[in-house]
Amino acid sequence: MSDTFHPLDIRMLAMLRSGKRLHGLFNGIPSPALVEMSAFAGFDFLVIDNEHGSADLESTENMLRAARASGIATVVRCLMHDIPRVLDIGAGALQIPMINNADEARDLVSRIKYPLPGGLGGTRGSAFSGRAAGYGAFGGPSHTQRSNEGIALIAMIETPEGVANAEAIAAVPGVDAVFVGPNDLAHTMGFENRWHEAPVQAAIAKTLKAVAQAGKCPGILALNAEDEARYAAWGARYFANVSTALILKAFREAAGG
């Protein structure tokens, strides 16, 4: 089968390693139509937000199908306990919140990799009956290899502890990118949602530069061109906006607000 039609889309890893700027969108609305619209609008990637969004696993699987059909690369942001099932429904990239140190990052990598002969690999449970392996059509060692070598992992830093350990987190083999969550970082630093306060911006700068120093892709939320330019100067290449913010802005403008 052509890689274009394989259910497990692993393009995100090469994109993160490309050195190019990437522009994507967090989407917490369980709608395959919005996934398609994001593709047709020209975004490089879409983050299916299962940390704060309302999608269940079936909706997530259908959004992954819509992404594959419309050609947009996808990331699924999910909580740690959802990792096995999200991988089995075909996520080719995961973004995991609240990683605070290198030990947590190593544990995360282990959860995403299948065990290999000789005690290598990780601790992911093996089942080839789900969508990721074509319901068994593409199971076995080839699926194990494709998954272990192709699934991208983006760790999120959202606390002062994570900022202090940013370079060590990024240096863990198997971590492909590190994304700063500015809202949570501002809250954990005592600034509520005011992430443009100088101390929060200094922490963001420190983190992005440390990730770049480690040779990994730095990412961050960027809601406007001014923020993107500032963060790009600190090394960021993986930028995400938010679907609901863009939709609400468009609706307000249409309503004359």
User: What residues act catalytically?
Assistant: 52
Return the number of other C-beta atoms located less than 10 Å from residue 137's C-beta. 11
Q: Which two structure tokens, joined as six digits, stand for 203? A: 């922490």
Closest CA to 172 of 99, 232, 83, 118: 99
Return the number of other C-beta atoms located less than 10 Å from residue 236's C-beta. 29
CA distances from 52 to 29, 96, 120, 127 (A): 10, 12, 34, 28
- What is the separation, in whole angstroms, between the first and last Cα of the chain? 51
